Structure formats: C-alpha cells, structure tokens
Amino acid sequence: MCGRYVLVSSLKRIEKRFNLLPSKLNLFQPQVNLSIGQYAPVISGSSPDQLQLMQFGMTPFWAKKPMYLFNARSEGDRNKDNNPQYTGSMGIINKPAFRASIRRRRCLVIVDAFIEGSKQDRLNKPYLIYMRSGQRPFALAGIWDRWVHKATGEVLDSFAIVTTTANELLQNIGHHRSPVVLSVDQERAWIDPNSDLSQVVEMLHPYPSEQLNAYPISPKIKNPRAEGMDLLQPVGQRIYPLSDYELYQELRMQGMGETTARKRRSSSDPPTLFD
C-alpha cells in the first residue's frame, strides 16, 4: 500500500505547476522519504488556490482519538482478492471512515514519485514509481478530514491516499494495489466540492502503465527516519527500458545536449529520476 512517497520539488515549482497563489508554508521541508505521521502540502477544495499542510494519516471527524488511516480503498470491502480486472461498484462511498470525505473533502496529494514493494517483500525490495514523461510534481487522489480534540479543542487536519487495483506496472513489481494517479485534466474536478459523485467515482481507476516507470532502490528507505537523495539511486534496471522517446522528453525538459543523450543511451546504469 502507498505509505511512502517523495516530494523534493520546491514550493515555487509546486505553485507554478498547480497555478497557486504564493505560499507561506515556512515549516515545509522537501522530503525524500515522506512517511505516515508527517506533515505534507496538499491542495483541497476548501482552498483550491493555496497549499495547506496536513498530516499524512487521516483521523475521521467522529474518532475518539487520533488515527492514521493512510490508504482508502476505492472498492471498500469489495474485491477482497484485489482482482486487477475488477469493474464492480466502489464501496468507498459507503465506508464509514471515508463516505463523508469522498463526497465533500477531497484533496490533491502532491508527489514527485511514490514508493512500493512487492506484496511479499514490501519495502525490503522497494521500487520508485514516477512519471515516464519526466513530469513532476504530479497529483495523487486524496481525501481529508478535520478532527477536533474534545478536551483541548486542538484541530487536526489529516489526509489519506485513495487506492485502486494494480495496473500492469505495479503487477510487474508484484504489488497488489496502486494509488489513484490523477491526470492534469482531472485535478480540478477531483477537488471541486460541486463535482457529482458519479464523476468522482469515475476517476477511481488505475493510471495507464505506459505513462509510468519504476526502478529498484535501496531498502534503507524502509526506515522512516532515513533521508538523503542517495536513497533514490537505482540499484537495478527499470521495469520499462529507457526509450528514445523518454530520452527526448527528458532532454527537452532539462535542456541537456546530444552528448549526454548518447552517453545515457549507451550506459547500462539507468539514470536517476532527479538528475
């Protein structure tokens, strides 16, 4: 399940990508290994033009004490076998922990990449999953809630990542689930509180595999306190070989020259995501 992700983009880059007003999130620090319980920037329907800091791991408004619900299954209790061909109804709309939030409190979880391992090995053999085009940051579908401590009045805003069945890429890794990755065209509709529920549910499907890629990284990232860009270095080959098209997109976005392209094409060591 998606309990780790990467967000190293600057606030300025995030604001430009999502067309936001300047932020005052002085407490935000780029995170190579963003884990449950940490605070991270999201964009919600309550403030669609600004970043907000919320805790990763959602506490529903009705909870008696803080919780850390970090994933919300699209299918709810249905599709218990995680059949990737599942086409049935989405039980999230009836799940007590999520039914209010999926209707009225949706958010964009901003990531540069996310981290998964196989169902068997988990983060003992982790993979970094990223946009094949080189686009970053991008958005995962999230829901959020506001919990108020009855004794102290303390307010906690927290979020969970919505998950769906595994696409072909995640199946190749050996993982049974995937976060819902939103296309650029879906982002505003996802957080719009006026979006029809049927429109929201229609977004809860696996992202096309051909638009993502992944490579194995060090199991050191299993430690939630581990940090440093070296954690994102590849320790093996990409799931999908780096193609000429990917090289072109990467070079076009980064402004690198032909010499570097030829060097990369001939190298057996895959380039890192954040070159």
Q: List phi, psi (to 5°) of 93.
A: -70, -15
For residue 134, the model assigns a pLDDT of 87
Instruction: Work out the pLDDT band at 232, boundaries 50, 70, 90.
Output: very high
How much of the chain exceeds pLDDT 70, in percent? 87
Which tens digit of pLDDT belongs to each residue from 83-107?
999 999 999 999 999 999 999 999 9
Stated pTM of the model: 0.88
To the nearest 10 degrees (0 to 180), the angle between helices 244-254 and 258-266 is 140
For residue 245, the model assigns a pLDDT of 55
**Helix/strand/coil for 106:** strand
> Is a pLDDT exceeding 90 seen at residue 250?
no
Domains of the chain: 4-230 (3.90.1680.10), 241-275 (no CATH)
For residue 214, the model assigns a pLDDT of 94
Query: What one-character-per-residue DSSP string does 107-173 give?
Result: EEEEESEEEEE-TTTGGGSEEEEEETT---SEEEEEEEEEEE-TTT--EEEEEEEEEEE--HHHHHH
Q: Which two tokens stand for residue 173?
A: 């890794």
For residue 210, the model assigns a pLDDT of 94
Q: How far apart are CA 73 and CA 175, in angstroms?
A: 15
For residue 256, the model assigns a pLDDT of 36
For residue 246, the model assigns a pLDDT of 56
